[in-house]
C-alpha cells in the first residue's frame, strides 16, 4: 500500500512534518506557519542534563508540541499514540497505511540508514512521515531529505522504539478530521502568546531568555572551571544544536522570522513586518556567535579573552531577544 504523497523538503523535522501532513489534507499551512502557530521557538540550557558528558541546550520547544499545538489551534482533530510493544506499534502503523492515513512518527536519528552517517547520533526527537509499505520496506518522507526514502521494517522498528531521552515509545500521530475553514488569525495569536510566555516568564534560569543570560555566564566560567578539551566540546555542542540540519540556521530564529513575515501578510499589521526584520537581525547575531565560537573551539585553548567575548555576544543577544518579546506581545495585542 503506497499512499500518493507530496514530499516537500523543509528546514525542520517536526514543523516540516506538520506542514506536509496538513498540505496532504489540502490545508495550505507553510512550514514557518506551522512552527509559529505550534509555538516552536524556545531556548533552554540544562547543565545538569548531560548527553555523552556534555550539557544540553535546545533552541526549540519539547518534541511533539509543535504538531499537537498547531492542530489544536487550527481546530484539526488528530490522534497521537504510544505503544507498549514493538509489534503493536508496527501493526497499528500498517493499519493506518491500509486506511490511507499518512502517519507521523517520532524516531531516533541513529537508526535511519538513509541519513548521512555524520549526523547519526542518539537523537530521539526526529520526525518523519510514513506513507506506504511494500513487503518489509516502508516508504518515508523525511522533511530534511530532498527526496523520499525507504527503510526496512527492522530499522524503522528500532528507530521508533529507541531508548534514551526522550523515549519515543513508538509514538505516532496523524490527522483524523479537518474543518472546512480554519481559524488562522486566532491560531496565530495563540502561537504568539505561547512563545512570548515561554520565553519571558519562567522564573528559573534554565528556560527562556533568562537561559541565554545564564549560558553567557556559564561560558565566561569555562576557562576557569573546565580543562581546554571539555570547554571546547561544550561549545561545539552549542554550535551543533544551533546549526544542525533541522534548525533552519541560527537556532530556528530565521524560521521564526519567516513566520512573522507571513503573519504580516495575513494580518496586514506593519508591526509584524518590523518584528520579522528584527528577528532576522537576532538570527544573524546567533550566527555571528556560532562563527566566533567555532574559532574558539578550533583553537582548543582556554583563552579567557575568547570565552569572555563569546559571553558578551550572548549577553547582547539576551538583551535583543528580551526587548523583542516585549514588542511581540504588544503587536499581538494591538
Partner 1 sequence: MKLNDVPQDKKHFNDKDVELRKVLYVTDKNGQYTQTHSYGWESENIALEQAWGEIFEQEEQVKQEIREGIASPIKYFMIKNRMDIGILASYVGKWQWQVKRHCKASVFKNLSENVLQKYAQVFNMEVSDLRSFKG
Q: Residue numbers of the site for partner 1 (CB under 8 A)?
A: 9-11, 32, 51-53, 110, 114-122, 144-146, 163-164, 167, 232-233, 235-237, 239-240, 243-246, 248-250, 254-255, 257-258, 261, 276-277, 280, 283-284, 287, 290-291, 293-294, 297-298
Beta carbons within 8 Å of 181's beta carbon, 6+ residues apart: none
Decide whether 75 or 150 has the Cβ nearer to partner 1: 150
Query: Rounded CA gap, 293 and 280, in Å?
Result: 20
Decide whether 75 or 320 has the Cβ nearer to partner 1: 320
Decide whether 239 or 317 has the Cβ nearer to partner 1: 239
Decide whether 90 or 279 has the Cβ nearer to partner 1: 279
Decide whether 1 or 165 has the Cβ nearer to partner 1: 165
Beta carbons within 8 Å of 233's beta carbon, 6+ residues apart: 53, 54
Distance in Å, CB of 3 to partner 1, minimum: 23
Q: Kindly give the residue spans of alpha helices, DSSP state H, lying in 179-252.
A: 184-200, 209-225, 228-243
Distance in Å, CB of 328 to partner 1, minimum: 17
Beta carbons within 8 Å of 217's beta carbon, 6+ residues apart: 311
Distance in Å, CB of 200 to partner 1, minimum: 24
Distance in Å, CB of 146 to partner 1, minimum: 6
Distance in Å, CB of 124 to partner 1, minimum: 10
Peptide bond into 163 cis (omega under 30): no
Query: Rounded CA gap, 209 and 255, in Å?
Result: 18
Three-state DSSP state, 229: helix
Distance in Å, CB of 218 to partner 1, minimum: 17
- DSSP, res 205: T
**Residue 177 grid coordinates:** 478530521
Decide whether 172 or 263 has the Cβ nearer to partner 1: 263
Please provide residue 49's backbone torsions phi and psi, each rounded to the nearest 5 degrees: -100, 100
Amino acid at each position: 500500500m503506497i499512499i500518493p504523497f507530496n514530499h516537500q523538503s523543509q528546514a525542520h523535522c517536526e514543523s516540516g512534518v506538520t506542514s506536509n501532513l496538513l498540505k496532504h489534507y489540502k490545508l495550505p499551512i507553510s512550514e514557518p506557519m506551522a512552527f509559529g502557530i505550534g509555538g516552536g521557538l524556545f531556548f533552554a540550557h540544562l547543565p545538569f542534563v548531560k548527553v555523552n558528558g556534555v550539557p544540553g541546550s535546545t533552541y526549540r520547544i519539547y518534541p511533539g508540541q509543535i504538531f499537537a499545538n498547531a492542530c489544536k489551534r487550527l481546530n484539526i482533530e488528530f490522534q497521537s499514540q504510544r505503544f507498549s510493544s514493538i509489534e503493536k506499534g508496527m501493526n497499528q502503523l500498517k493499519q493506518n497505511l491500509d486506511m490511507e492515513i499518512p502517519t507521523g512518527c517520532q524516531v531516533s536519528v541513529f537508526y535511519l540508514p538513509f541519513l548521512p552517517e555524520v549526523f547519526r547520533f542518539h537523537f530521539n526527537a526526529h520526525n518523519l512521515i510514513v506513507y506506504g509499505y511494500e513487503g518489509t520496506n516502508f516508504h518515508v518522507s523525511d522533511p530534511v531529505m530532498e527526496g523520499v526514502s525507504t527503510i526496512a521494517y527492522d530499522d524503522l522498528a528500532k528507530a521508533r522504539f529507541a531508548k534514551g531521552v526522550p523515549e519515543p515509545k513508538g509514538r505516532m500521530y496523524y490527522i483524523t478530521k479537518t474543518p472546512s475553514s480554519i481559524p488562522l488569525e486566532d491560531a496565530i495569536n495563540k502561537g504568539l502568546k505561547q512563545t512570548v510566555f515561554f520565553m519571558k516568564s519562567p522564573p528559573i534560569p534554565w528556560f527562556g531568555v533568562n537561559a541565554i543570560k545564564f549560558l553567557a555566564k556559564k561560558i565566561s566560567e569555562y576557562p576557569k572551571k573546565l580543562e581546554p578539551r571539555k570547554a571546547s566540546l561544550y561549545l561545539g555542542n552549542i554550535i551543533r544544536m544551533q546549526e544542525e540540519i533541522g534548525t533552519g540556521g541560527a537556532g530556528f530564529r530565521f524560521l521564526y522570522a519567516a513566520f512573522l513575515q507571513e503573519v504580516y501578510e495575513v494580518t496586514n499589521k506593519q508591526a509584524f513586518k518590523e518584528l520579522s526584520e528584527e528577528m532576522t537581525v537576532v538570527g544573524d547575531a546567533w550566527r555571528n556567535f556560532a562563527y566566533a565560537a567555532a574559532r574558539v573551539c578550533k583553537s582548543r585553548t582556554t583563552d579567557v579573552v575568547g570565552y569572555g567575548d563569546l559571553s558578551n555576544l550572548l549577553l547582547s543577544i539576551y538583551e535583543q531577544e528580551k526587548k523583542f518579546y516585549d514588542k511581540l506581545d504588544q503587536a499581538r495585542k494591538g
